[in-house]
Amino acid sequence: MSKAIEALEKGHQLSATSFVLDEEAVIRYLEAVEDEALPRLARAEGEAWVPPMAVAAQALRSLMEEMTLPAGAIHGSQELEFVRPVEAGERITCRAWLSHRSQRAGWWVLAVEMEGADESAQPVLAGRLTVMVPG
Amino acid sequence: MSQEAMGKERWAVEAELPSLAKTLSQEKIDRYARASGDFNPIHVDPAFAAQTPFGGTIAHGMLLLAYLSEMLTAAFGRAWLAGGRLKVRFKGAARPGDVVTARGRMQRAKGERGICSVECLNQQGEVLVVGQAEVKL
């Protein structure tokens, strides 16, 4: 069940989620963001890579299945590290936890850390998201 | 000269990364919502968004980061996909009709990594996203 993000305690571990971005999803994403560089590079290297921001966006989406952001929430900052390229069709599992929770000037300031790993539990992505929520 | 040395030479301090510009529309924002699964009404529901402090729909922050990622992929290739780091703050909202420019500049070397300033601006020169990217050179 989805909970309001500001209701979560610092240290709260979100349930692990997993997803697969298949070739169709990659094509849909590339068309949406009009990315010409990744297909050119992937063709040159003979690979079927997923755009790194598609992996990050899907990871964030999967986290949002367990927590909700109220209207007026602001995406304040984003940190990402791409450990290695992800191939279309790979299953990625994400783990995340609330690493910061404070209240300042009428806003909750919340940070979520996340890690994405492949089926061998090897990291492919890490990140930190900061959200400001009125309250 | 080795490929590594060529990379270091190409990305001298103050070198500009190849910028790119994208014109936003509600249709493009909707397309991104379908591709990412993020249907927050602030992005896709004009009637809802009109009642918020933004006064209308705004683009997903992750769409702007996709533009930065395209620029960094074009500049650094595989080095961006394997070992690239990005740290940004969202400073302003991008709206339908805006022309978003993603640009960057090599700032300094830190060991074998290059550190670049990166930003997204709108057509008025207002900063929408600002931060740093790191890649292995």
A72·B53 Cβ contact <8 A = yes
CATH superfamily of A3-134: Hotdog Thioesterase (3.10.129.10)
Identify the closest residue of chain B to A49 by CA–CA distance.
Answer: B81
**Sheet strands side by side (includes A107-117):** A13-20, A91-104, A107-117, A123-134, A74-82, B85-90, B127-136, B113-121, B99-110, B20-23
A85·B83 Cβ contact <8 A = no
Residue in B31, B73, B100, B136 to test binding to A, most A beta-carbons within 10 Å: B73
Distance CA A82, CA B80 (A): 8
Model confidence pLDDT, tens digit, residues B47-72: 999 998 899 999 999 999 999 999 99
H helix or E strand, kind and range, residue B64: helix B61-76
B3-24+58-136 placed in CATH 3.10.129.10:
yes
pLDDT, tens digit only, all 135 positions of chain A: 567 777 888 999 988 999 999 999 999 999 999 999 999 999 999 999 999 999 999 998 888 778 888 877 888 999 999 999 999 999 999 999 999 999 998 889 999 999 999 999 999 999 999 998 888
Instruction: Please tell me the total number of residues recorded for chain B in this structure.
Output: 137
Domain ranges of chain A: 3-134
Say if residues A122 and A61 touch (Cβ distance below 8 Å). no
User: Greatest CA span in chain B, whole angstroms?
Assistant: 59
Q: Which one, of A72, A133, A86, A33, lies nearest residue B42 by Cα?
A: A72
- pLDDT band, very low/low/confident/very high, at B2 (cuts 50, 70, 90): very low
Is the minimum CB–CB distance between B90 and chain A shorter than 8 Å?
Answer: yes
Q: What is the DSSP letter of B76?
A: H
Identify the closest residue of chain B to A29 by CA–CA distance.
Answer: B35
Q: How many CB pairs under 8 A join A and B?
A: 117
Identify the closest residue of chain B to A50 by CA–CA distance.
Answer: B81
Whether the full predicted model's pTM is greater than 0.90, yes or no, is: yes
Say if residues B135 and B114 touch (Cβ distance below 8 Å). yes
